[in-house]
Chains A and B, each alone.
Chain A
């Protein structure tokens, strides 16, 4: 087997093992969106108002509306969790071991992205299955068409996690990520409320929400869950992925980090 594939298998297996061994992490990752879906959404049922916006063709409940946003939430938190684990790896020294591999650094980071995205997508599907069990279901074909959208969104948020992990030096600084990245990204998006609703209250907030790459990722998932294609959301999600990946590669540049690779 080529060394590239060996490293891919090793890194993905490590991610999978870590995920399997941390069952609490899996449960926590599902409990969070489920609380939003079954508690928060129930209370805010009337808040959405009644309006038909694409990709929906008729009136929907608030629970139905926030499902794609909560899938995005899973991907977002998982991306950040992955970033947290990289910071941990750096502190524990296992990252040094990884980065001393003779393979190019971009490939190692790509493997890491594949591992974290696979787990994110798996969790998103587990969440969709539980939501369906509670009667909040999408068209059957949507569960298939959502897969590429979840992968693209997962890669974008994983790349963001990589970028952050290259910038955060200590585990203690991670709380800042919660306050300055996760919360603003989630709340300033179309995950919980449609953007036309945001435009009604503040044009500035609407503009920020529209520019937020997380909004684009959520809309990409939303359309895909209804077997519809949102070209602009795909474009901006891919553009954000390219930007985050480039910045992450720069962040992990040996010349910059001082963690040089031994030939």
Chain B
């Protein structure tokens, strides 16, 4: 009898261990006011390192092999390259003035950087550390995206209210499309056939058909008990298979869960104050949101659509990126 029970227990434990998703990894968060990055363990959900950066770090992304982390130090007018193992700044890249967001091309070499004060997009080769091109775009460029095949880059301009389509072969604009007021973030999904742009003041997300650069859909948000002016979509990320989008709604302190096929909002999740951006863990079971005003990162259970925990980081956390 005892033997039977112990065998069952062993089998259950083995099954549990095998079924437990491997979620080891780190979430790197830039702290705008503290000039630091906080590193959160996705296992313990605690801050394990804090590294100093240049002034006002915002956008953050990793190289393909995760051996380097790129950080937009906006007020230092530089993109900094850090060794994620040691937290040491290796060198700066020429970035143009006030770099806010950027995106790394799938070739792992070209960085497309939005220069907010100069109304240009700067393309930098991270190997040669040289500026490859500077492309005139609208006023206050911010959101950056690149298609999965690397052929198209997008810059959104906050004041011109446009998505600018860049041909990465020629580094020239080939289309400009209007969106609602103050576009802040852009992403390609569904193998690059769709492109989404969030408009902070307009309170909407516009979906484009990439082949024709035409508007395919547009939708807004309504958070119960929150004035519509405070519902300001900014960063967003997609679940596995691009079935759902999690959209940060800024000072409404909520995330929206949007069905990416029907464009309907299915849920709202309360997170910290002024939620900006987010990053998933390895298996996309957890989502980490940066909450600017409350200075913390809220961990969301993606399947249950529930906030689990909020972790204190530095002041004004902004960007987030995952490292295995």
Contacts and interface: CB of A to CB of B under 8 A. Distances in A.
B229 to A, nearest CB: 14
Given A42-B225, A50-B272, A50-B294, A59 B309 contact: no
B253 interface: yes
A61 interface: yes
B307 A50 contact: no
A52 B225 contact: no
Interface residues of A, number: 10
28 contacts: A42-B225, A45-B225, A46-B225, A50-B253, A50-B272, A50-B273, A50-B294, A52-B310, A57-B308, A57-B309, A57-B310, A58-B271, A58-B272, A58-B298, A58-B299, A58-B307, A58-B308, A58-B309, A58-B310, A59-B270, A59-B271, A59-B272, A59-B294, A59-B298, A59-B307, A59-B310, A60-B270, A61-B270
Contacts of A42: 225
Contacts of A57: 308-310
A44 to B, nearest CB: 10
Nearest to A62: B225
A42 B273 CA distance: 20
Interface string B241-278: 00000000000010000000000000000111100000
A42 B308 CA distance: 23
Contacts of A45: 225
B38 to A, nearest CB: 17
Interface in B282-309: 294, 298-299, 307-309
Interface of A: 42, 45-46, 50, 52, 57-61
Nearest to A51: B294
B223 to A, nearest CB: 11
Contacts of A60: 270
Contacts of B272: 50, 58-59
8 closest Cβ contacts across the A-B interface? A57-B309, A58-B310, A58-B307, A45-B225, A59-B270, A58-B309, A58-B298, A52-B310
Interface residues of B, number: 13
Given A59-B271, A59-B307, A61-B270, 15 more contacts: A45-B225, A50-B253, A50-B272, A50-B273, A57-B310, A58-B271, A58-B272, A58-B298, A58-B299, A58-B308, A58-B309, A58-B310, A59-B270, A59-B272, A60-B270
Contacts of A61: 270
B82 to A, nearest CB: 29
Contacts of B299: 58
A57 B271 CA distance: 11
Contacts of B225: 42, 45-46
A28 to B, nearest CB: 28
Contacts of B308: 57-58
Nearest to B296: A52
A183 B8 CA distance: 54
Nearest to A43: B225
Nearest to A61: B270
A42, A58, A60, A61 — most chain B CB neighbours (10 Å): A58
A151 B273 CA distance: 37
B22 to A, nearest CB: 23
A59 B68 CA distance: 34
A226 to B, nearest CB: 12
A50 B272 CA distance: 8
Contacts of B271: 58-59
B63 to A, nearest CB: 32
Contacts of A52: 310
B26 to A, nearest CB: 20
A40 to B, nearest CB: 13
A243 to B, nearest CB: 38
B309 to A, nearest CB: 4
A45 B298 CA distance: 20
B183 to A, nearest CB: 28
A46 B308 CA distance: 21
A103 B270 CA distance: 56
A42 B225 CA distance: 8
B264 to A, nearest CB: 18
A58 B272 CA distance: 8
A206 to B, nearest CB: 24
Contacts of B307: 58-59
Contacts of B309: 57-58
B303 to A, nearest CB: 14
A60 B225 CA distance: 14
B253, B270, B273, B299 — most chain A CB neighbours (10 Å): B270
Nearest to A57: B309
Nearest to A60: B270
Contacts of A58: 271-272, 298-299, 307-310
B75 to A, nearest CB: 28
Contacts of A59: 253, 270-272, 294, 298, 307, 310
A59 B309 CA distance: 8
Contacts of B253: 50, 59
Contacts of B273: 50
A32 B99 CA distance: 56
A45 B270 CA distance: 12
A88 to B, nearest CB: 43
Nearest to A46: B225
A57 B298 CA distance: 9
A161 B192 CA distance: 68
